[in-house]
Amino acid sequence: MEMGAKEKNQQLHKPYSNGIIAKESPSSLQQELQELRGSASCPRSEPEFEMADIFYFCRRGVESILDDEVTKRFSAQELESWNLLTRSNYNFRHISLRLTVLWGLGVLIRYGILLPLRVTLAITGISLLVVLTTLVGFLPNRELRFYLSEKVHLMCFRICVRALTAIITYHNRENKPKNGGICVSNHTTPIDVIILANDGCYSMVGQVHGGLMGMMQRAMVKSSPHIWFERSEVKDRHLVAKRLSDHVADKTKQPILIFPEGTCINNTSVMMFKKGSFEIACTVYPVAIKYDPRFGDAFWNSSKFGLVNYLLRMMSSWAIVCSVWYLPPMNREEGEDAMQFANRVKAAIAAQGGLVDLIWDGGLKRAKVKDAFKEEQQKLYSKVLVGEQDEGEQKTCSFCSLS
């Protein structure tokens, strides 16, 4: 196929682009409006509104739709070549007979051999986790219970990792999270938990569930100090902060594992960290996780696939390949508020994992844009009209400029 494309002088692979709109160097809202009006050299003597201003906001709105920094972070990462799983590159005009045969053999191997073995391993790991943690929870000796619980968790999570044929490379293990701290990481998939728990034990934080997940939570908490919240308790920030503070104050307890983004991102960027976990006075251990999508897409698009469907897709892929970097521990500096601390940790994770550092809240995946963002643009425009905006002031909102 490559030889044929070369002979026809055609491009076989579509190069991946981070953006569609070619934007020039940033300028202030006032400068852009003046250029649009054609009167940049003639300052206004009094505030006025011109119909031409509408075109500026229309253009920015169309740019935001075409080059939306948020929405494209919740779709599968585009591959440059076909991995015999999903034909993700639409530049392929046809599939040759040779590739079709290879794809057919791959289907037989993945669904006929790998999937049954992986499902068996997953059932074995989950069953052992429920049974053994329940039994360990009956032991009266606290130290023995914690010791055996750690061994049981490691063994079961490592079985589950093998159920996904996960190939994991851990870097800088000397920076692994320690007791009495909080481990924070970027979030791509629910299996981030077992990827990290494969190399050490953590105390999980989450909402109480029912069904199989609830049964696992009840079994795990009997042998290890995990933190599960009822639905009504999750909204109580003071209660959540107190339980987390009490946990990290006990140096005998395992570090807490938290994903501050609050939702899964497609492994190309890191979005806003919620500040709750950074308000606690303790050491934060940042961790960066980067998946290789060539062997299987680990991103969970929860709006498109249910959990069971997603896990079956994962188990029927070739493998889950990823790298994990343990970053040096970080503490809140003097005069630094929780949000600034969260942004500093997020920037370090993004830089290490080669991810794009974005300011947007992952909650925009399902929620509408807050009115505050729209009001900010309206205030900037009102300052332009009354001549209060300083030259060079730049506060743009590419996601919601069409307000």
| Distance (Å, whole) CA 227 – CA 255 | 11
In this prediction, residue 20 carries a pLDDT of 44
Which of 220, 212, 211, 253 minimizes the C-alpha distance to 154? Answer: 220
Indicate if the pLDDT at residue 386 is higher than 80. no
| Distance (Å, whole) CA 228 – CA 130 | 16
Long-range contacts from 139-147, C-beta under 8 angstroms, 24+ separation: 145/223, 146/223, 146/224, 146/252
| Distance (Å, whole) CA 392 – CA 403 | 22
| Distance (Å, whole) CA 303 – CA 268 | 18
Out of 130-144, 206-220, 378-392, least confident range: 378-392
Indicate if the pLDDT at residue 164 is higher than 50. yes
- pLDDT, tens only, 57-104: 887 778 777 766 777 777 777 676 777 886 555 555 556 778 778 888
Backbone angles phi, psi at 286, to 5 degrees: -75, 145
- pLDDT, tens only, 306-324: 888 888 888 999 999 999 9
Can you tell me whether residue 197 is helix, strand or coil? helix
| Distance (Å, whole) CA 45 – CA 386 | 10
Residue type, 171: H
Indicate if the pLDDT at residue 243 is higher than 90. no
Outline where 256-320 has alpha helix (H): 307-315
Assigned token pair, 174: 């000397």
Beta strand extents in 222-270 (DSSP E only): 227-229, 256-258, 269-270
In this prediction, residue 46 carries a pLDDT of 56
Q: Are the beta carbons of 18 and 97 closer than 8 angstroms?
A: no
- pLDDT, tens only, 21-42: 445 545 566 667 766 666 544 4
328 band by pLDDT with thresholds 50, 70 and 90:
very high
Indicate if the pLDDT at residue 11 is higher than 80. no
Q: Which residues pair with 257 in a beta bridge?
A: 183, 204
387 band by pLDDT with thresholds 50, 70 and 90:
low
Whole-number CA gyration radius for the chain = 25
User: Higher-confidence residue: 297 or 73?
Assistant: 297
Which residue's structure tokens are 């395992």? 254
Is the Cα torsion angle 350, 353, 354, 355 positive or negative in sign?
negative
Indicate if the pLDDT at residue 168 is higher than 60. yes
Indicate if the pLDDT at residue 184 is higher than 90. yes
| Distance (Å, whole) CA 95 – CA 103 | 10
Backbone angles phi, psi at 228, to 5 degrees: -115, 135
Assigned token pair, 271: 């979005």
Q: Are the beta carbons of 223 and 144 closer than 8 angstroms?
A: no
Burial of 400 (0-12, 13-18, 19+ CB in 10 A): buried
Q: Are the beta carbons of 145 and 139 closer than 8 angstroms?
A: yes
Highest mean pLDDT among 207-211, 284-288, 388-392 belongs to 284-288
Long-range contacts from 335-338, C-beta under 8 angstroms, 24+ separation: 338/275, 338/276, 338/278, 338/279
User: Higher-confidence residue: 143 or 386?
Assistant: 143
Q: Are the beta carbons of 398 and 63 closer than 8 angstroms?
A: yes
